[in-house]
Structures are given as C-alpha cells and as structure tokens.
Structure 1
Amino acid sequence: MSERNIPFLKMNGLGNDFVVWDAREAPVRLDAEAIRRIGDRETGIGFDQMITVEKSPAGADAFMRIHNRDGSEVDACGNATRCIGRLLMEESGLAAATIETNAGLLKAAATGMARRVTVDMGEPRFAWHEIPLAEEFHDTRAIELQIGPIDAPILHTPSVVNVGNPHAVFWVRDLDAYDMSRIGPMLENHPMFPERANISIAHVISDEEIEVRVWERGVGLTQACGTAACAVGVAAARDRRTGRKVTVRLPGGPLLIEWRESDNHILMTGDTEVEYEGVLDPDTLAFEKTAPGDRPILEVVK
C-alpha cells in the first residue's frame, strides 16, 4: 500500500451501501473510471454510491457529493444523507446536523434509537418540467407511458415525482411477477426521462404499508433507495392510495416515510450501519480493511 493511502468508511442504510471519504481537509479526487473500478463488487470495494464529505460553501455542517457506481454524479441520496447525518452528529455531539447537497440543504436528526436517523428531505416536485419529462403532462399522478404490447402492456401509467432526483412509480399487485433486471434498464433510459430516472414497482399492502422494489439510476437493483421510498410514499398519498405516513418495505428493510401536511416536507426515518473502516491506495486502487464493526449512534441530547 502507498504512503498516500486514503482512509474511508464502508456504510449502509438498509443494505444501500456507500464508500465514504472525508475530504474536508484534503481533497479526494477520483475520475469516473476509478469510481467504477472501486465500485465493482467483484474486484473493488463495491458500493451503490460513493460519498465525498466536503466543506460546505453554504455554511452547513458539511457538503455531501454523491457519485453512482457508474461514475455519474447525482444530486440526492436519502440513505446516504442519513448515514452522513449520523457521522456528523457523532462528531459534534449534537442531535441534529445540516447537510448541503446539489439538491439543497437537508436536515438530519437523531431519534434516540440506536443507529436510527431521520432526515428532512424537503418538498417533492410534481411539475413535468421539474421532474423532468420530455413531454408536457398536466397531471403527473399517472402519465401515459408503457412498455410491452399496446393491448397488453407489461407496465403502464406510472406516477412521477422529483425528490431531489427523478422517479417513476408503477403500481402493481405482485412484485414477483416482474423481472426488474430486464425492465429496469429500459425504463431508466426511456426517452421520456431526459436525465434518466429511478424506477420503482410498488404494491400497496394497506393504508399504512407499501412493498417496493427499485431499479436505481446509475446503480441497478438495490437493497434500498431512500429517495425511491420517499417518492413512493408521496405518490401513494397524492393518489389517495394510502395516508401521509407509511412504512415502505424494501428488500433491505423498512423506511418510515411521512409527507408532512403542515409544510409539505418529506421525513424519512431508518437505520444506518458502519460496516468497517479501511484505506485505499489511490495509485493502484487496492484497499485494506483496518477496523471492523459498527459504532453507536449519538443518543438524543437532552
């Protein structure tokens, strides 16, 4: 390993996993090819997103830069926001943290339960040009989009919303009836989505519970996606399929989503985990694990 080794944390939120760099004092610069190599689950560390924690130009506790496994930079990642919020709160000893992202300022708060964090994800956007879509739709609760034969489409009429990144939600009765590894790439790159989109299939179990599978833009199938959970919760409430407070069940576990009526903000609550600490050789991209295990989340400050 090089003397210039870069320390990192491997974290996850319900299996949605991240490599986290602290670049507040010394910059961490990796090009798209290096990001793809580090993100490879066979030959690299493996992750859904790479998170770089930087100084905040806006005066927040930190700026969070997000790259997907394919090397593309994106504006929002809900589960990563919870993980970074946890680290900042542990560092400061406070029960709240403010994180600047390309999607705006987000606030994280400790819940008083081990490893669990709540993030205020801000307000959803529904206008067709804000999502964005390639065509104008006055009602984005259900747009004209389908894949498969016209008279028997495989999926059709999704709800679309932007919660820091674009999402399409297809309502289905049986999640297991759909091969997301085949359908996901087609929909992610559909001409309707000029910036690509995160694709979810969702089954409403009750007024307070939804089951979801996600194909994440630039990542693929994922154990959990925080912004997708937010998008599903908001889209379900907007279409009166559920109430404003729901548990969204993903393969990696549950997220509690509340679309608050008082200020139109989305609150997302769920667990975080530190998998291990490590170092990376920036020249060879070889890495070593240096410390195992999780650390306790900040207890709520009285």
Structure 2
Amino acid sequence: MVEPPYDPELDFHYRIFNADGSEVSQCGNGARCFARFVTLKGLTNKKDIHVSTAKGKMVLSLQEDGKVRVNMGEPIWEPSQVPFTANKFEKNYILRTELQTVLCGVVSMGNPHCVLQVDDVKTAPVNELGPLLESHERFPERANISFMQVVNRNHVKLRVYERGAGETQACGSGACGTVAVGIMQGLLDNKVQVDLPGGTLIIEWQGVGHPLYMTGDATHIYDGFIKL
C-alpha cells in the first residue's frame, strides 16, 4: 500500500498486508514492486526512492537494466529485537518440534526469519515443518521459515514458508535473511545468487555494520480494480 510520507525527507510510506490480512513490517519483493508501481503511475521520477516502513527506512533504486536494487538495511541479530526467545545471540540455535529437531540461524530483516540448511530443496519438508516452526513458541510474533540448499559459496537454492501466507514462489526478505545467515555461519561469500521457484535474486552483504542489498526484477503484469 502506497501512503504519503510521514517524514519530509522521504518520498512515500510503504505498508504490507499478508494474504491472511495481517500487517507486517517488511516485504522485499513488495519493495521492488512498490518502486516499479510508483514509477509507472507517475508518482515519482526519481531513480532512488526513499520510503519508510513500520520498522525503518529503505532506499529503492531503479537500475538501467530494469531491475530494482533495494537497500534492506542491516540484518538484526539480537534475539530480543527479532523477536526470538534466547539468552544471547548464537550463529546456530536448536529448535525442537513434534516432527524433528533442527539446527537453524535466526535473523530479522525488519521481519523474523529462521533459516535451515537442507541437502535438497526439492525434497525438503517445507509444508510439514514450515508451519511448526512458523508458530514455534520461541517466535512470539511467528516467523518466516527458509529452507536453504547451498550449491556453492556464491549460489543457493531456496524455498520459503512465509508467515501468514504459507509457501510462496519467492520471498525477497527471506532470500536476504538466508544469505545473511549463510555469511554469518561461514557458508557463503559476500555476493550470492538465490534461486527461488519464482525467479532469481542477487543478495550482497559485506558483513556486520553494513547494509544488505537485494537486486531483482519487478515486472508489470496488469492493472485491476477492487471494490471495497
């Protein structure tokens, strides 16, 4: 949802609602679509669009090749700010469910993410384990669950069970959280190609103290009207 800015130094305020009606603080794919939408509708002619969200600020940059690059801000690792119940930050946490016990990384990209490494995303129990972890008691605001297959240090395959939406074709903030966790755990380099069922994203992060960047497509499909 596009709203007027609450800060004179910003261009717009950006709000996100899931399919179940719940409002969330961040959506990476939505951010790229937001940039494409306000440009197509003539609401701005800027190449760098500054927006606020419920939990911070973002810069959406339109590239010459038609892609959109988003400054997603710094990953948040402090458990209380994710939010996630833990005594201290760790690179790996153990979570127990009725299905299995898993080792995972936890981070916030403006919304909570739980990242598991799997051997093959095609056979990962996304729709069985996903909902159990999404609503796990250690995530008081629920979480997005990412199943990551590391192809090499610059390439991962990913499936995501999204909070309030179930498995989706692509999750931009999930890709960001996944790469941040992978880098923090020493599995990935600073620039990573993320292949999701719905497309490919490029994620870049230079490490703690630096913002994370996401680059990908945002394609106009159709215009429509909804009666409310």
| RMSD (Å) for aligned C-alpha atoms | 1.5
Q: 1:7-26, aligned counterparts within 5 Å?
A: none
In the TM superposition, residue 148 of structure 1 has moved relative to its aligned partner by 4.7
TM-score normalised to the size of structure 2?
0.94
TM-superposed CA distance for 1:263, in Å, is: 5.0
Residue 53 of structure 1 aligns with which residue?
2
Correspondence 1:185 to 2:131: yes
TM superposition shift of 1:261: 4.4
1:121 aligned onto 2:67:
no
Aligned pair partner of 2:168 in 218, 222, 230: 222
Higher relative contact order (CA 8 A, sep 6+): 1
The residue aligned with 1:135 is 86
* Matching of residues 169-248 of structure 1 within 5 Å: 169-248=115-194
* Cα pair 1:211 1:250 within 8 Å, conserved: yes
8 Å Cα contact 1:89-1:97 kept in structure 2 = no
Please state if 1:78 is matched with 2:20: no
Distance 1:121 1:253, change over 3 A: same
Distance (Å, rounded) in 2 between the aligned partners of 1:167 and 1:187 = 10
Q: Distance in 1 between matches of 2:112 and 2:7?
A: 24
1:67 aligns with 2:17: yes
**1:139-188, CA deviations, whole angstroms, 9 ceiling, x for partnerless residues?**
1x111213356xxx3x5110000010000000111222223122211110
Kindly report which structure 2 residues correspond to 1:220-299, keeping only aligned pairs within 5 A, or say none: 220-261=166-207, 263-282=209-228
State how far apart, in whole Å, the 2-side matches of 1:262 and 1:280 are: 43
Over 3 Å counting, the alpha-carbon distance change for 1:262 and 1:125 in structure 2 is closer
Distance 1:252 1:138 in 2: 32
Q: Distance in 2 between matches of 1:94 and 1:262?
A: 29
The structure with the largest alpha-carbon Rg is 1
Give the direction of change, closer, same or farther, for the CA distance of 1:164–1:214 in structure 2 (3 Å limit). same
Map of 1:33 onto structure 2: none
3-state SS of the aligned residue for 1:57?
coil
Letter in 1 for 2:58: L
- Asked if 1:146 is matched to 2:96, the reply is yes
CA distance, structure 1, for counterparts of residue 46 and residue 28 of structure 2: 20
Contact in 1 for aligned 2:134/2:142 (Cα 8 Å): yes
Is residue 258–residue 266 contact of structure 1 (8 Å, CA) maintained in 2? yes
User: Given the two structures, how large is their TM-score scaled by the length of structure 1?
Assistant: 0.71
Which of 99, 108, 112 aligns to 1:162? It is: 108
Instruction: State the identity %.
Output: 36
The residue aligned with 2:47 is 95
Residue ranges of structure 1 left out of the alignment (5+ in a row):
1-51, 283-302
The CA deviation at 1:58 is 1.4
CA distance in structure 1 between the partners assigned to 2:7 and 2:176 by the alignment: 25
Looking at structure 2, the residues matched to 251 and 226 of structure 1 have their Cα atoms a distance apart, in angstroms, of 12
Structure 2 partner of 1:108 = 60
Query: How far has the Cα of 1:130 moved from its partner?
Result: 1.1
The alpha carbon displacement at 1:236 in A equals 0.6
Secondary structure of the structure 1 residue equivalent to 2:94: coil
1:53 counterpart letter in structure 2 = V
CA-to-aligned-CA distance 1:222-280 (integer Å, 9 cap, x gap): 00001000001111111110101101111001100001349510100000112211112
In 2, Cα distance between the equivalents of 1:74 and 1:156?
Answer: 26
Aligned residues: 225
Report if aligned partners of 1:61, 1:88 keep a CA contact under 8 Å in 2: no
